[in-house]
Chains A and B, each alone.
Chain A
Amino acid sequence: MTQLPQSTERKMGLVIDLDTCVGCHACVISCKGWNTENYGAPLSDQDAYGADPSGTFLNRVHSYEVQPAEGPAQLIHFPKSCLHCEDAPCVTVCPTGASYKRVEDGIVLVNESDCIGCGLCAWSCPYGARELDQAEGVMKKCTLCVDRIYNENLPEVDRIPSCVRTCPAGARHFGDLGDPHSDVSKLVAERGGMDLMPEMGTKPVNKYLPPRPKDKIEDQIDILAPLLAPVAEEPKGFLGWLDKTLEKL
């Protein structure tokens, strides 16, 4: 059924810390690995070792430069996967009912055996979170690692999304954003977590924590600096002669 649920019991999602992300792409690789070997059709690559490689990914990391009016520019690494929107347009446009949002945890999934590969859901997603797999002809998207987070065959520490488990910087957090007392909700409140393209009306569940402001480099870096000031202003003797000669050339 592609009608959206009125509300979901929980709102499971990710919180991504743009301050901490170092842009290592480890989450991209671990996501691709886990989702190629597990739930649904594998994520295929085309011409992987040739001149024009491309492939399906559920999570991609962009990098942006932000130039404030004053001060140095800041480089921000920007991971992007499905935001499991509350008002997910990708679900309502689907003609087959393959795309759906789960009532129990709000995860947006594709039932691949119903998908006709029309691509309309990818057209309707503002975030580029859905990719039609070229080999399988079905729509692929982040599953929030639904086959890990409830998987009792895994040790408890691994029952979180693959990308979260992998991130070496701890820039990805997973939890229930519908519960105001959860760790992720507290983090969002504390750090001013934000929505991407709020004007699209999708009400994303995933939140992004903005980068903290950069330190200001003051005139005086440290108290010992004056002691390191250059002593000899004008070179004398041989060096002075060399300097002058070179100047003339």
Chain B
Amino acid sequence: MHPAPSVIIFTTLSGLGFGLLFFLGLGLPAVSGWVAFVFFAIAYGLSVGGLMASTFHLGHPERAMKAFTQWRSSWLSREGWCAVLALVLMGLYAIGTVFFGQRWGVFGILGALLSLATVFTTSMIYTQLRTIPRWNMKLTPVMFLSFSLAGGALLAGQTRVALPLLLIAALVQILYWRQGDRALAASGTDLGTATGLGARGRVRAFEPPHTGTNYLLREFVHVVGRKHAEKLRLISFVLAFFVPVVFLLLPFNHFVALLAVLSHLAGIATSRWLFFAQAEHVVGLYYGKR
């Protein structure tokens, strides 16, 4: 898949933002006044910023409101609903903590759950696609949720929770890569089933439909970046999990905490880039590519 910057920024930032909102909603940390304001500003900046970025790749962003209509069948529509509801409830909760020094727990807890639901619905947009075996796995939502929770805990300064969550996320990441690398082969789809000619012999793409490129190749067949995948995996793993865990084990200080967050963010963004760049869409088979 083409690793479009808009979707990578969107899923990375909003995953982190909704993760932070989850912890804030649970009162971890139990902040009020200016400190609460800063925490919520960061959380909203990330989640809303991410959502805005996601509209950049739309052909008609001015019609985005229509996307709320099909929640019965469409995960993208459900994601829109969850995000808006989470942001509204957490907004009310934030008003309580920032201006009245009150913790309106109902809003907080519902908002926290909806924040997680938003991350889950985002992950389901990818997971539902049978056309992309690397995404069509139970581990995909697990990965999105574990990343979001680990990042959220890190941002919320919940050192004691962040440590195990980061370790879990790291484990999920490794499992996801392992299973993902085998997913296309395991799906049983190849040029033989794509053309229905597989039983007659070895099928080879002889001539593409056009000499030039097209939307399908640009959007679904991204082979260029895959060359360095192994190196990028290592970089992403070290930045997203290893560095933050080491920093968390050091004595706490704000500068080190900031470094841990930035490192985690860069690592998750790299992992997300790989999530797209490495994903093989079966339509590539028709072009003799994968």
Contact = CB atoms under 8 A, between A and B. Distances in A.
Contact of A2 (B57, B73, B130, B202): B73
Interface in B66-117: 66-70, 72-77, 80
Interface in B223-239: none
Nearest to B131: A126
A65 B189 CA distance: 18
Contacts, number: 200
Contacts of A242: none
Contact of A123 (B60, B195, B203, B281): B281
B213 A116 contact: no
Contacts of A68: 200-201
B210 interface: yes
Given A28-B209, A95-B67, A116 B59 contact: yes
B129 interface: yes
Interface in A83-139: 89, 91-98, 114-120, 122-128, 131-134, 136-139
Contact of B125 (A60, A120, A137, A194): A120
B38 interface: no
Contacts of B205: 62-64
Nearest to A195: B196
A66 B203 contact: yes
A142 to B, nearest CB: 14
B57 A119 contact: yes
Interface string B126-147: 0011111000000000000000
Given A69-B201, A120-B125, A78 B195 contact: yes
B283 A128 contact: yes
Given A64-B203, A126-B131, A199-B188, A96 B214 contact: no
Interface string B247-290: 00000000000000000000000000000000001110011000
A190 interface: no
Interface in A190-239: 194-201, 208, 210-211
Interface string A41-81: 00000000000111111001111111111000111101010
A63 B209 CA distance: 7
A56 B216 CA distance: 10
Given A116-B59, A195-B196, A56 B202 contact: no
A56 B212 CA distance: 12
B215 A54 contact: yes
Given A69-B201, A124-B129, A1 B70 contact: yes
Interface of B: 1, 57-61, 63-64, 66-70, 72-77, 80, 125, 128-132, 187-189, 191, 193-197, 200-210, 212-216, 218-220, 281-283, 286-287
Interface of A: 1-3, 18, 25, 28, 52-57, 60-69, 73-76, 78, 80, 89, 91-98, 114-120, 122-128, 131-134, 136-139, 194-201, 208, 210-211
